[in-house]
Amino acid sequence: MRSTSKTILLHEISKLKSKQDQWNPFAWYKQMRENNPVFYDAEQDVWNVFLYDHAKRVLFDHQLFSNKKERSLIPVPRVNNRSNVNFSDPPEHRHRRALLAQAFTPRSLKEWEPRIQAIADELVADMEGQTTVDIVQQLAIPLPVIVIAKLLGVPSQDREKIKAWSDILFYPYERETFGDIADQKARAMKEFQEYLYPIVQEKRKHPADDILSDLTKANLEGEQLTDMEVVMSGIGLLGAGNETTTMLISNMFYSMLFDQPGIYQEMRADSTAMPKLVEEVLRFRFPVAIDRQVAQDTTVFGHKMKKGQIIIAWMGSANRDESQFANAETFDIHRHNNQTHLTFGAGPHFCLGAPLARMEANIALSTFVKRFADIRPVEGFEVTEHLIQSATGQSLKSLPIRVETA
């Protein structure tokens, strides 16, 4: 077996075995908040924090909790790359982030809105005449991948290849099959690079109005990025913007069916309720965890931590901390502070794509709601039959729902 020493295996910390528990890790989170809020996992030499205030401190305090990590739970193979926003801290991180940030300004997103709407219109129109639709396969997967491909300036017909490569890159490692998974990831990374490289070369010669072209012109500390650095930034964005947004759109429908049945009619009656639903789904149904490396020997959160140890902020747990969210285990789109969830991170690395993800989810929902009068679960629906292992635990690979045309 190949060494797992640089990789942290998240599910070995929770020890949640069944698909059902991995899909709903919230009871375990609660137990940890109550009994073991700062937990040291000796097997992997990793600290874990479960409370809101602790998680927030880990994300904000980059001097004590650095993103320059020798080990990580991010399952994507690491490639040395000056433009990588991960694995860097301020001040150098600020330059790297600025390169990408131009693409995600409110102005550039405003320009994107009609194009995202057109993609959503087409996907929802394709559901015409069906009484059962698979939300994951027909909307939640294609929308983000088409959008991010178009934003980058990559042919969106290639979306299945792009999706397949990013899925492999983000697929979680397991101890028993570590070598096989590592080989698959290396192959996917090589193919993805070989695919994007000529596209980037072409953009450098003939820049267009897209992110890859902008990156070929970008200036990092007085130097241009190499073609391979642009390729790697592209892979980073294609990966970051895909599975996460798919999860958001899928979970949004799951919540409307199972966390608060009937709420669909509120969406139809009041369009201002939609962004509130999106925020509550982000708070309520997102088992995200982020890692940092302890930068110096210290005593923090009442424990002695050593330089070089890894600390994981379990944001999915922080989002259900009663000290931040009253009745945290209840799905309630009208809570006043649900935007303070940590699902997009916090501090210097706060998700650059958050406004894009929010816009995609809102457009997906409003477009769907206009066409369908009601939704219901299909008979005999068992969530465990529709799950797939993902970087964060289990996510929906399909979600068939009954629809009534408006």
Residues of this chain that interact with ligand HEM (CB under 6 A) are: 59, 85-86, 97, 100, 148, 237, 240-241, 244-245, 248, 288, 290, 343-345, 349, 351-353, 356-357
Cβ proximity to ligand HEM: between 153 and 353 the closer is 353
How many Å apart are CA 173 and CA 176, to the nearest integer?
A: 9
Q: How far is the CB of 62 from ligand HEM (least distance, A)?
A: 10
Cβ proximity to ligand HEM: between 46 and 240 the closer is 240
Q: How far is the CB of 183 from ligand HEM (least distance, A)?
A: 26
Q: How far is the CB of 80 from ligand HEM (least distance, A)?
A: 17
How many Å apart are CA 46 and CA 73, to the nearest integer?
A: 11
Contact 250, 140 (CB under 8 A): yes
Structure tokens at 259: 């966390």
Task: Name the region of 145 (left: φ>0; alpha: ψ -120 to 50; beta: rest).
Answer: alpha
How many Å apart are CA 214 and CA 99, to the nearest integer?
A: 9
Cβ proximity to ligand HEM: between 351 and 383 the closer is 351
How many Å apart are CA 144 and CA 207, to the nearest integer?
A: 23
Task: Give me the residue whose beta carbon is nearest to ligand HEM.
Answer: 353
Structure tokens at 22: 């991995």
Residue 221 has a CB neighbour count (10 Å cut-off) of 8
Cβ proximity to ligand HEM: between 16 and 391 the closer is 391
The one-character DSSP state at 349 is G
Cβ proximity to ligand HEM: between 116 and 290 the closer is 290
Q: How far is the CB of 75 from ligand HEM (least distance, A)?
A: 14
Cβ proximity to ligand HEM: between 151 and 403 the closer is 151
Alpha carbon of residue 119 to chain centroid:
21
Cβ proximity to ligand HEM: between 44 and 245 the closer is 245
Residue 125 has a CB neighbour count (10 Å cut-off) of 10
Q: How far is the CB of 79 from ligand HEM (least distance, A)?
A: 16
Q: How far is the CB of 334 from ligand HEM (least distance, A)?
A: 21
Residue 219, beta-bridge partner list: 224
Structure tokens at 222: 């007085």
Q: How far is the CB of 376 from ligand HEM (least distance, A)?
A: 26
Coil, helix or strand for 393?
strand
Residue 132, beta-bridge partner list: 402
Cβ proximity to ligand HEM: between 108 and 193 the closer is 108
How many Å apart are CA 166 and CA 236, to the nearest integer?
A: 9
